[in-house]
Structure 1
Amino acid sequence: MIKFENVSMVYEPKQQNAALKDVSIEIDRGEFAFLVGESGSGKSTFLSLVLREKRSTGGSVYVAGQNLNRIPSRRVPKLRRDIGFVFQDFRLLRERTVFDNVAFAMEVIGASRAQIRERVPDALKMVGLEDKARRKPTELSGGEQQRVGIARAIVNRPSILLADEPTGNLDRKNSIEVMNVLNRINQNGTTVLMATHAHELVSEYRHRVIELSRGQVIRDEIDGQYAPMTTVVNQDGSRELLVGDSAVEYDEESQVAEEKKDEDQ
């Protein structure tokens, strides 16, 4: 479903700063995987490559069997129809109703009114908001607004759902509600990849955990937990990241590259 083969991403070729370095990993159809790591570890770059917002500078990225480095730009919109995206900050149209916010994702791809009338209620039911269709986002809690965002992401029935820190602005109660919705969506066959810093949720829900550090995959664990990372300064002045009991060389250039990329956005 999602496959990275020796993928690297360099934003400043002259400086050779790599946001991702030689990443090879595969996420199968129907999996739920957490993408974790400290800020600047490469999570945002990983998601942007799956969406084909950018092309990798090395290696190959495959989504649903398609090599994203080779498909022409005119085919990218069609690819993205099969990928739903959930934002941390909701990005709802504040003056439009819940129904209209979800319907908007269908309108932009030219769906008929009949399709919209059929699918939007189904999406709202999936996230438990069928009774809030005529409300506006300002009348909802943060957790409810995020569930509207999830409904919008799934209304076109994508096979892949990407979620970028979907619980980052929520308290624990609302975070659990959002996680339960994502679990239900996954149980219906949708592949879910969720980037997160939510230590407790990752350890509690025990899905696959893919951990990035300085642009490299340092852990890929089925039924995983969120292992804390600690920077250790050795006697010779070099630095290592401790992940559980494992040490990984600290690469400052990769950290700078990813942080600069985030600032540019």
Structure 2
Amino acid sequence: MQLINDLLNSVKIDAPVRNVLIGAHWTTVSSRGCGMASTVMNPKPHGEGQVRDAGSLHLKSAGELAQYLLSENWLEASVGLAALNSLLEIPQGNITSVNAFKVVAEKGSGKHVAVFGHFPYLKDIRASARQLSVFELNPSEDEFSLERVPEVLPEAEVVAITSNAIINHTLDDILPYLNPKAFSVLVGPSTPLSPVLFEAGFDLLAGVRILDETTLIQSVAQAAIFRQVIGAELITIAK
């Protein structure tokens, strides 16, 4: 969990928690700002969805909740990542609203592209790439399991990794096999917009900027999938 520890240690401020919401698809924590992360649960039927101190999470500081990111309980880790994101200040600089997968498709034209996570834009990437390798925790017939990472990933020239890999603690297992010359993107509303991730080797961070906390929380509470979410916009930040 070295990268998670690096992210946690990079945050030098704390703030009281104003609100915690664990929705069907998204988790939000409001503190210094409003942070968002995917709501992820372990793929087991009993007990893994229980959150420590549920009902009093709002009495903790955001820094305390961010420590939940270290938990092997993915639901707690979801809360932890949302709390971490609530403390981060979006870096100034190369911020755009370009779709990260459009960048991946363009960069990956005629190349070997690897994608971690089953995203809705895979058809476009497949159409332009010479080869597309898709990795999933529970792979379908034409996808790879994470056990194939050491064999397949070093050959990829463009790589997009879901930021949920932070929540399920697989990112540290993936990064050692990333080709240093590959163009790499960490993508998804859970993405911490932190310089630490550039230091870890990513070229592009694709996450969200919260525009209206009240409307965001309302839509998340009503089980909105991301395209239904109101109050947040997708942004990308280049190294």
Larger Cα-atom Rg: 1
Shared topology, TM-score over 0.5? Answer: no
* Greater relative contact order structure (CA < 8 Å, 6+ sep): 1
